Chain A
Amino acid sequence: MGWQIDPVVLTLVVFCAVGSLAIKDLLGAAIVFGAYSFMMCVLWAVMGAVDVAFTEASVGAGVSTVFMVAAVFRTTRRSKD
């Protein structure tokens, strides 16, 4: 079962990673980065590292996305470069 889901999730991880770097809108980049974290979480779960997947889901996809959105809220939505 793992082998069917692996390539799809890996492709999505790479797309999300490149996307979060490329997007000019920082709020969108934060959301895409959250999606990247969630895909990584799925990947850990597929590999059987459930503890790591749990940490990734709660820290990476949950709280750090909120931190980034809060930082964007207090600074600027436009990236300079």
Chain B
Amino acid sequence: MRIIALVLVLLCGGLLIAGTVEFAPWGSPHARQQVYLSPYFIEHSMEDTSVPNIVTAVLADYRGYDTMYETAVIFTAGMACFFLLRCLKRMEPQERVYRHLVTGMVLHVKKPSVPKPPEGLFEEIDPLWTPYDIIIKTLGRFLIPPIQVFGLYVIAHGHHSPGGGFQGGVILGASVILLALCYDLRSEVERLRESLSGICSAAGVFIYAGVGALCLALGSNFLDYSALAPILRVDPVAARSLGIFFVEVGVGLAVMATMVAIYNNLASAGLYDQGL
């Protein structure tokens, strides 16, 4: 079996390397895409969309379909993780662990019949328990807000600098995952509930497709944002720039919620009770 796999891998790799022989030399100005496609984007993207970052203009405007289905792929990945890993049967924990807030002493409760200790004096912690670390928690508190602001900046500033919906969404999702790593999974799920993250990831795809469908309803092509000009009360070029922004917001929302959902399902083995 291993030999067959090795032969297949070598065959595929050989085919790919053989395919590169046909390529134009690296950075050649005479390559086919450099002759007609790239000059068009470089010369016209500014006057078409008024977006200085050509990558964003190509990604969200000229090739809007491609990015829409990329977002759909991310949504599908989140759904796949949900259906594969999520365990909806609620299981009562065998062992409960409480920490005394004042002294930091830890109580292990082995029998389910023992009642809960008083709420103000003890807090429940994970049975897969890691020692109380105030440095990590405080650092997380300081780091998470700037990370989230940076994520929003990356989404909104994708027109002018590298970045956009995908990167900003991943940064926002990573900030929520950092909260789960610094505190615990429960306090993260309290702030971003499973239903909310599911709705957000579907809403992101819906925003993207909805903007496209709105263009269609206004009598233009699907995802041709210049049709939005009468609604937004701007000229068609600015409408394309704004359309790219709406779409990026949808992408960011979908990516953020999906990253958080995948992490929660993986780290808690689908139980959403305790994690890494």
Contact = CB atoms under 8 A, between A and B. Distances in A.
Interface of A: 50-51, 53-55, 58-59, 62-63, 66-67, 69-71, 73-74
Interface residues of B, number: 24
Contacts of A73: 267, 276
B160 to A, nearest CB: 12
Contact of B170 (A50, A51, A63, A69): A63
Contacts of B64: none
Contacts of B227: none
Contacts of A62: 170, 174
Contact of B167 (A58, A67, A74): A58
Residue in A50, A53, A70, A73 whose Cβ sees the most chain B Cβ within 10 Å = A70
B266 A51 contact: no
B55 A59 contact: no
Given A54-B167, A55-B167, A66 B162 contact: no
B166 interface: yes
A9 to B, nearest CB: 16
Nearest to A75: B269
A27 to B, nearest CB: 12
B177 A63 contact: yes
Given A51-B162, A70-B275, A73-B276, A63 B174 contact: yes
A15 B212 CA distance: 45
Interface of B: 53, 55-56, 154, 162-164, 166-167, 170-171, 173-174, 177, 181, 259, 262-263, 266-269, 275-276
A55 B163 CA distance: 8
A54 B163 contact: yes
A70 B163 CA distance: 27
A53 B163 CA distance: 10
Contacts of B177: 63, 66
Contact of B171 (A58, A70, A71): A58
8 contacts: A54-B163, A58-B167, A63-B263, A67-B262, A70-B263, A70-B266, A70-B267, A74-B268
B162 A69 contact: no
Given A54-B162, A63-B170, 16 more contacts: A50-B162, A51-B56, A54-B163, A55-B166, A55-B167, A63-B174, A63-B263, A66-B174, A66-B177, A66-B181, A67-B262, A67-B263, A70-B263, A70-B275, A73-B267, A74-B269
Contact of A58 (B56, B170, B181, B268): B170
